[in-house]
Amino acid sequence: MVDTPFAAALAEVAGLVEAALQNILDDAPLPGETARPERLIGAMRHAVLAGGKRLRPFLVVETARLFGVPDQSSIRAGAALELVHCYSLVHDDLPAMDDDDLRRGRPTVHKAFDDASAILAGDALLTLAFDVMADERVDADAAVRIQLVQALARASGLGGMAGGQMLDLAAEGRFGDGRPQLLDDAAIRRLQAMKTGALIRFGCVAGAILGRASAAERAALDAYGAIIGLAFQIADDLIDHEGDAASAGKATGKDAARGKGTLVSLNGAAWAREELARLVGEAETKLAAFGPRADRLKEAARFIAMRDV
């Protein structure tokens, strides 16, 4: 995978983000006199320092580069976004939620620790994300950082990721008579735009905020983010639909087992592959005004749509 220039660029940013996350967790605010909640720190480290592509921070860094924002700023902002992503995985994996024992081949936080530690680790990671985003080490004016904080909150909360997770649980039939809801195409799109799309989209808008982009530039990156967020989810659903667990590195066929409707189950795998190709083209169009500076973001769209893990 690291044998293409894009994969190398992605891996390079992942390394920088990894170092920032390590630094953030080593350095997390603990006043001198305070007792150290070691088990909580351990659970947070387990959740965050587990490798991964660090795709969301990559989008922050790469969109910020369009405007000449130094990586030291965007890496910190990207790390804050990654903390939110990691918290969401910890809570989603809980027995009361999706009840998953494994993630990336390792025990989930509540399996490696316990449910209470996982709940608190998620809470503390979400909180830490806002601390990091607000911190002057993001190296942007307060006016920029406050915009980032608010946009991150909106992507993560009731109208974003958390709201989407709630709709997803409802679609599985968790709260009614136990029967899955039959969502139509539009309802699935709305749900996924919230649950997985909102954070990806925020990653693309974050670069525009850091770069004090014009309204048109910001709108273009927002649209690009929405498109690749959709592509990310369709690719994910396609892997679940087609893949075998060994190559995907996680359990597959879970959506069907949960009676969960996806755009792939609704429209078929052939449609999904065509739609992904169409979305890549659309994403490229949105970036046209940035010229060749945006080539890597175009490659990111292809990578997201065509990945098989």
Query: Using the rule CB under 8 A, is 256 a contact of its own copies?
Result: no
Minimum distance, C-beta of residue 245 to its own copies, in the bound complex (Å): 25
Minimum distance, C-beta of residue 304 to its own copies, in the bound complex (Å): 22
Tokens of 187: 């309802």
71 with 60: CB under 8 angstroms?
Answer: no
Question: To the nearest 10°, the Cα dihedral for 161, 230, 294, 67?
Answer: -20
**Given candidates 150, 182, 274, 288, which one binds its own copies under the rule CB under 8 A?**
150
Would you give the binding string for its own copies spanning residues 83-122, x where CB under 8 A is met? ----x---x--x-xx----------------xxxx-xx-x
How many Cβ atoms are within 10 Å of 68's Cβ, its own excluded? 8
**Given candidates 54, 56, 103, 145, which one binds its own copies under the rule CB under 8 A?**
145
Query: Using the rule CB under 8 A, is 274 a contact of its own copies?
Result: no
Paired strand residues for 102:
107
Would you give the binding string for its own copies spanning residues 29-58, x where CB under 8 A is met? xxx-xxx-x-xxx--x--------------
How many Cβ atoms are within 10 Å of 237's Cβ, its own excluded? 22
Q: What angle do CA 106, 41, 147 make, to 5 degrees?
A: 100
- Segment near its own copies (CB under 8 A), from 1-9, 164-172, 227-235, 239-247? 164-172
Question: Could you give the CA distance from residue 177 to residue 108 in angstroms, rounded to a whole number?
Answer: 29
Burial class (CB in 10 A: 0-12, 13-18, 19+), 202: buried
For its own copies, the binding residues (CB under 8 A) are 28-31, 33-35, 37, 39-41, 44, 87, 91, 94, 96-97, 114-117, 119-120, 122-124, 126-128, 130-131, 134-135, 141-143, 145-146, 149-150, 152-154, 156-159, 162-167, 169-170, 174-175, 187, 190-191, 193-194
